[in-house]
Amino acid sequence: MRLLLNVARLQHLIHQRNIFVGISAVLLGANVLLAFKNFSYQERIIIVPPELHQSFWVEGNRVSNHYLEEMTLFFAHLLLDTSEASAPFNREVVLRYANPDSYGALKTQLLEDEQRYKKEQLSTSFKPSVVQVDNKKMIADITGDLLSYVGSKKISQHRETYRFHFRHNQGRLLIDSFVLVKTEAKEL
């Protein structure tokens, strides 16, 4: 009798053990799947700063078109809405976002522009009208009116198109280059 009772208890314990082993195996499999998903998943960050006009996202090595557009407007403002007094500050801000590979060339270009502003006592104002973005190539073209002033006298107005080449590196958008693509003189 006692042997039958022990055998019944042993079978019951083996049955419980098998159930717990099965549950543990399922939980282990779920943990492995979650770990794999966490290591292979690129987190999307939604950014909505108050001073920008639209939200944008950054995911892995990709960025939204709106992000390129907003950053192009920001950099165009720093580079083209400037005077001899604001040029050094604007240069330092832009160089914080320069790609290390093109830092020297961009710094040289900005220093030359700064010297020209000082020499000619020049100030410029840029009124953007169109921003075209090529997300795959990380290029943005911005077109607008560049007004040049000496003192308070307007000396020229041009419709100009500038091209920004960007590189995305670990969540940061870096400038590779900034060049004038096209210019059209306008009557004063």
User: For position 144, which CATH number holds?
Assistant: 3.10.450.230
Whether 85 and 33 share a structural domain: no
Residue ranges in the chain assigned as alpha helix (H): 2-40, 65-80, 87-96, 103-120
Distance CA 154, CA 39 (A): 57
Whether 18 and 84 share a structural domain: no
Q: Which residue has the tokens 């009116």?
A: 145
Q: Phi first, then psi: what are they for 155, rounded to 5°? A: -105, -25
Both tokens assigned to 132: 């075209």
What mean pLDDT comes out for the span 158-186? 87
Is residue 164 very low, low, confident or very high in pLDDT (cuts 50, 70, 90)? very high
Distance CA 24, CA 18 (A): 10
Domain tally for the chain? 2
Highest mean predicted confidence (pLDDT) among 46-50, 57-61, 90-94: 90-94
Is residue 22 very low, low, confident or very high in pLDDT (cuts 50, 70, 90)? very high
Q: Identify the domain containing residue 11 by its residue range.
A: 1-41
Q: pLDDT tens digit string along 148-161?
A: 998 778 888 889 99
Coil, strand, or helix at residue 131? strand
